[in-house]
A and B are shown apart, each in its own frame.
Chain A
Amino acid sequence: MTATLLLIQALNGLQFGLILFLIAAGLTLVFGVMDFINLAHGVQYMVGAYLVAAFSAWTGNFGLALLLALPTALAFGLLLEVLIFRHLYDRDHLDQVLATFGVIVFLNQAVKFIWGAAPLNVPVPEIFSGSIEITDGLLYPVYRLVIIAAGLAVALLLYVLVSRTRVGMLVRAGATNPQMVSALGVNIQRLFMVVFGFGAMLAGFAGAMVAPILSVEPGMGDNILILAFVVIVIGGIGSIRGAFLAAILIGLVDTVGRSFAPNILRFFLDPATASQTGRAVAPMLIYIFMAAVLFFRPSGLFPAKR
């Protein structure tokens, strides 16, 4: 019984971790290549979710909505880059934090203005509804498996892009040594735009994918943004590989921790105290984990910069 529960929680953790990775990938690149802290990355996830909600209400088809949402999210990211972020690259981190904070305030209210404060629901696409039996007696929703598959596919795609293409090479070089890249005569402005737009689209994709299983509401990107920061800090800023591993770790620690912390504590404490303490400790686990990682490795697990 517990083994089944563990398997389900592990799958949930994996799914959550992959979503985190989609968000963190763009964040860590923007961070690594441009040395730019973008707090507004979380609202791009929210925008992705709202776009897919709006388009699927309009077209009645999730797949079509996704196809429309992705380029829109990309365009939106580029718009923000041109309007605001571009003017912040040569500012210090403090200014970047504050200006992008202003973007969050604006966009959280803007979606309320356009779509109202009430959460929106996006139906799970017809062909992926229902559950399948993975092992004996273990039913698992198909759509969540689709998210896992999509997340893994994007991770693979990203790996190929970063390690096999010319732009990918520039991105890797940029994360390690930005001065060198601009010294090579690369149009750094265009590289920034590409990275930025791509990151925004990935975050939008993550938001779009989770829209059918979460409620789409203002501020939904705020807390996941912090988790994405935890991921890239643990993984090492600028490292895609680090972000991937850290995202999966965080997804698993958080999901499995929440359901098992009380059980584990029961070995040490009486049941009532254990369940109470477990509930209190579980949401803190990933932060404790992060503190532990940074205590031993102040630049994360896979520091890209030397």
Chain B
Amino acid sequence: MTDIARMQSASIVPPAPRIERVPLILFGALAIAPFLAALSGAEGYVLSLLCRVMIFGLAALSLDLILGYGALVSFGHAAFLGIGGYAVGILASHGMEDALVQIPVALAASGLFAAITGTISLRTKGVYFIMITLAFGQMLFFLATSLAAYGGDDGLTLPSRSLLAGTTILKNDRVFYGFCFICLLGVYVLAREIVSSRFGRVLRGAKENPTRMEAIGFHPFRFQLLAYVISGMMAGLAGVLLANQAEFISPSFMTWQRSGELIFMVVLGGLGSLHGAIVGAAAFLLLEEFLPEILHLASFMLSSDLQSRLVENWKMVFGPVLILIVLFVRGGIMGLVPGGRHD
């Protein structure tokens, strides 16, 4: 009833975009965090953790674009992280260390891989789509393990972070943090723009009712393919950043478990809101980071031996937490924040 009342009171032209609270708070917090980190006494640790949050936030955001707005459950999205990472590693080992070269190459490679695999995957529907994207992800994973020249199974340590226009400023952790922040903000704004555009509207329509879309003359396949390519390129960018953050690349960037984690981040934050994916990534990584600490504190009454075994096996708590979230937190974190969702 209140829903209907709210709909009817809306004017013909949608209201001008009001500044939304959640993304404002989110990006505001990320912007001031480095200043607080400097005071914390553990600046390096905090910055590195938050960089990881932003990088996985970027990857999760890219996945939300096709998952939340296109209902395409890509279970191979970590492959793009790998492509981005290996673009950095392979180019660097051939002496091309500038991000201004690496990023375009990474984007092109991700886009190409997305175009090829998307053309095949999008012919299938539902469960088959999940499985075929999973298989393509595995294919790339095994390709990486067999790249003996670039470390094979063990991966490859980068000589240093990428150069930026010939300078070494990215080696500074604060500058690198800023670089990640700008990438995330830029991609977020771009994704918001895409979602509300004509293209985004067709994508959302195809998610709701593909047959209806065909009946008015749209071929959902092409729109989904383009969205898949865009999403893949965004995730490729996240891969470039991740390689630089870790100063290391390995096939473990693109295990299927990693793809599963990305999906989890999106669902945890709340599907189809973009900033929800970033919040989800943050929640996931922080939980992973601090769960051992929390367990340590929570089990103070146990003997120190049991306590350390519990902390060591924190994943035995993490797994059930994930299950409980799926079973009971519907709509993700954004579903809990009043007004946190928008469509």
Query: Which A residues lie at the B interface, using CB under 8 A?
Result: 31, 37, 39, 84, 87-88, 91, 93-95, 97-99, 101-110, 112-113, 222-223, 226, 229-230, 233, 237, 276, 279-280, 282-284, 287-288, 290-291, 294-295, 298-300
Contact = CB atoms under 8 A, between A and B. Distances in A.
A220 B131 CA distance: 20
30 contacts: A37-B130, A84-B323, A87-B327, A88-B326, A93-B126, A95-B267, A97-B73, A97-B75, A97-B130, A99-B326, A101-B264, A102-B319, A104-B257, A105-B315, A106-B316, A109-B313, A113-B313, A113-B316, A223-B138, A226-B135, A226-B256, A230-B131, A237-B127, A280-B147, A282-B146, A287-B142, A291-B120, A291-B132, A294-B120, A294-B123
A233 B138 CA distance: 15
A287 B75 contact: no
A253 to B, nearest CB: 13
A109 to B, nearest CB: 4
Contacts of A233: 128, 131-132, 135
Contact of B135 (A93, A105, A222, A229): A229
Given A226-B134, A287-B136, A107 B260 contact: no
Most buried by A among B123, B124, B127: B127
A283 B120 contact: no
B85 to A, nearest CB: 18
B123 A295 contact: yes
A91 B313 CA distance: 29
B313 A298 contact: no
B322 A98 contact: yes
A226 B130 CA distance: 11
A109 B126 contact: no
B263 A98 contact: yes
A117 to B, nearest CB: 10
B156 to A, nearest CB: 16
B309 interface: yes
Nearest to B126: A93
A102 B309 contact: no
Contacts of A104: 257, 319
Contacts of B219: none
Majority-rule SS of A interface residues: helix
A113 B314 CA distance: 10
Contact of B143 (A222, A237, A280, A299): A280
A294 B146 contact: no
Given A233-B131, A280-B147, A291 B136 contact: yes
Contacts of B131: 229-230, 233
Interface of B: 67, 73, 75, 117, 120, 123-128, 130-132, 134-136, 138-139, 142-143, 145-148, 256-257, 260, 263-264, 267, 309, 313, 315-316, 318-323, 326-327
Contacts of A112: 313
A190 B284 CA distance: 36
Contacts of A229: 131, 134-135
Contact of B323 (A99, A284, A298): A99
Nearest to B317: A106
State the 5 A-B residue pairs at the shortest beta-carbon distance, nearest first: A106-B319, A102-B322, A105-B319, A287-B139, A283-B142
Contacts of B127: 31, 37, 93, 237
Nearest to A276: B148
Contacts of A237: 127-128
B270 to A, nearest CB: 13
Nearest to A37: B127
B318 A105 contact: yes
Contacts of A291: 117, 120, 132, 135-136
B66 to A, nearest CB: 13
Given A98-B263, A229-B131, A105 B123 contact: no
Nearest to B321: A102
A279 B120 contact: no
A97 B263 contact: yes
Contacts of B260: 39, 97-98, 101
A101 B73 CA distance: 15
Contact of A294 (B132, B139, B326): B132
Contacts of B315: 105-106, 108-109
Contacts of B142: 283-284, 287
A218 to B, nearest CB: 10
Contact of A109 (B123, B139, B264, B316): B316
A107 B319 contact: yes
B124 A95 contact: no
Given A113-B313, A295-B123, A103 B323 contact: yes
A298 B123 contact: yes
Contacts of A230: 131, 135
A176 to B, nearest CB: 16
Contacts of A103: 319, 323
A91 B330 CA distance: 11
A95 B128 contact: no
Most buried by A among B75, B135, B146: B135
A135 to B, nearest CB: 33
Nearest to A287: B139
Nearest to A219: B257
Most buried by A among B117, B142, B145, B148: B142
Contacts of A105: 315, 318-319, 322
Given A222-B256, A279-B148, A295-B120, 5 more contacts: A104-B257, A109-B315, A226-B256, A291-B117, A298-B128
